[in-house]
Structure 1
Amino acid sequence: MDAPVFITGIGTGVGKTIASAIITEALGGHYWKPVQAGLDESTDTERIKTLISNPVSQVHEELYLLTLPASPHLAARKDHLQIDIDTICQRAHEMMEKSLNPLIIEGAGGLLVPLNENEKVLDLVVALKAKLIIVSRNYLGSINHSLLTAEKIKSTGNISARWIFNDHFMNYEDEIVKWSGIDSLGSIPFNAAPDTSFVSSQARRLKSALTHFVKVGLAT
């Protein structure tokens, strides 16, 4: 595995974690969320542990575990920490060197969320040379958010990206694919209380598309 798979979203609360669970389950990958901002409820890492059922996936602990549920740069500042992209990349490479299983990295919020005063999530994706999966949740306004995200990816260049659509408001996934020029890996149906059975069934359904995406080169 020469590149990790990075999961981002068109915003906060669009279903990155459930998508990450399904992707990790489908690929038999190892999950890692390097930056967790907010500890009031269970962390995304803790939730992933309850959703993965295959015998090979590992769930790695966070590198930055921040108390404030806010933008990572603000949460880190409150905890007197500085999020360092080079440190995250080094840890990711160490994980990949120890295993042939794909490394699935869940980001914080969307691509333009600041990690520190100078760098955003997108800068981390570029530094990792990661394959990018964008989670778009279907809601009123999500077309705009999706296409803005796609435009930023396209303008950055040299990023292999695909969509996963989550939930259903109206059926406009095909239009987002057409207008963005980014292909889709599939969609995840709405589930108010997803569990291991749901994750496993969706993983089987999306496994072929996900496996192909991981194995192909940088062509979008």
Structure 2
Amino acid sequence: MPRFVVTGTDTGIGKTVFSAALAGALRAHYWKPVQSGLDDGADRDAVASLAQLPPERVLPEAYRLTEPLSPHRAAELDGIQIDPARLSPPDLDPLVVEGAGGALVPITRNTLYADLFAWWNLPVIIVARTGLGTINHSLLTVEALRARGVPIHGIAFVGAANDDNEQTIAAMGKVRRLGRLDRLDPLTPETLAAAFARGFAQEDFA
């Protein structure tokens, strides 16, 4: 059964929406090990709603941190010490694990998300925007993951079609171009499921 980690090239690019679409398509368990920023609700609540997953498939975070900051700093402000040993993915299949922000976001002062991904040795899907700046951000993310021996399953784009950007990243980064998810308005479980089916091949996640 498939087990994937979802990371991004930046924050606010649609990683959680893609994670919801993927989890819904696979009827997977969803886990975000660290949630930073609670004022707007937890990402697992959004994923549960958008993916229409039963409660038992949306797993509680290992750490819930108050401020919408990098986990290492949010934990310090909350007086919490994050123990990376508590962040091992659960033994459940299928599984979608979502990181926070980009691959080089610090979890502690000594540990980056990319370090965790290397320890987990699960295939990683990189979520990238399609617009200006994405080539640089995407190729840097690919290099950072490969430098740590992280297996890259492919790259998923979010936004309006930009065929040259998408092709360039896939070719120069030597990564599989999985597909593209439109920005959706309205964003509902129905529009998200339809957009994922339109933009991606289910067999690429088997």
TM-score normalised according to structure 1 size: 0.86
CA distance in 2, matches of 1:15, 1:80: 30
| Matching residue's letter, 1:197 | E
Match of residue 190 from structure 1? 183
CA displacement, residues 44-94 of structure 1 (integer Å, 9 cap, x when unaligned): 1111111012669711111110001111000001111122221111xx2xx
**Does the 8 Å contact 2:181/2:196 carry over to 1?**
no
Contact 1:185-1:209 within 8 A present in 2 as well: no
Residue 42 of structure 1 aligns to a residue whose secondary structure is coil
Name the counterpart of 1:4: 3
Query: What secondary structure sits across from 2:108 in the alignment?
Result: coil
Q: Deviations over 1:149-183 (max 9, x none)?
A: 11112222251331000002633211110011011
In structure 1, runs of 5+ residues without a counterpart are 213-220
Query: 2:204 is aligned with what amino acid?
Result: L
AA matched with 1:123: D
Greater alpha carbon shift after TM alignment, 167-176 vs 177-186: 167-176
In the TM superposition, 1:109-148 aligns within 5 A as 109-148=101-140
In structure 2, the partner of 1:82 is 81
Stretches of structure 2 lacking an aligned partner (at least 5 in a row)? none
CA deviation profile, 1:173-202 (whole Å, cap 9, x unmatched): 111100110111111012133110022223
> Superposed, which structure 2 residues align to 1:35-184 within 5 Å?
35-53=34-52, 58-89=57-88, 92=89, 95-96=90-91, 99=92, 101-168=93-160, 170-171=162-163, 172-184=165-177
In 2 relative to 1, CA 179–87 (structure 1 residues): closer, same or farther, beyond 3 Å?
A: same
Query: Structure 1's 31 and 158: CA in aligned 2 closer, same or farther, altered over 3 A?
Result: closer
Q: 1:185 is paired with a residue of what secondary structure?
A: strand
Paired positions, count = 204
Partner letter of residue 71 of structure 1?
S
Distance in 1, matches of 2:167 and 2:20, equals 24
Normalised by the size of structure 2, how large is the TM-score? 0.91
Residue 13 of structure 1 aligns to a residue whose secondary structure is: coil
Tell which deviates more after alignment, 134-143 or 54-63.
54-63
- Give the match's secondary structure for 2:57: coil
CA distance in 2, matches of 1:107, 1:138: 20
After TM superposition, what 4+ stretches of structure 1 lie above 3 angstroms from structure 2? 54-57, 202-205
Corresponding residue number in structure 2 for 1:200: 193
CA distance in 2, matches of 1:38, 1:143: 28
The answer on whether the counterparts of 1:12 and 1:109 sit within 8 Å (CA) in structure 2 is yes
Contact 2:70 2:105 in 1 (8 A): yes
The structure with higher relative contact order (CA 8 Å, sep 6+) is: 1
1:207 is displaced (CA, Å) by: 4.8
Query: Mean alpha-carbon deviation: is it higher for 167-176 or for 200-209?
Result: 200-209
> 2:157, 2:180 within 8 Å by CA — same for their partners in 1?
yes
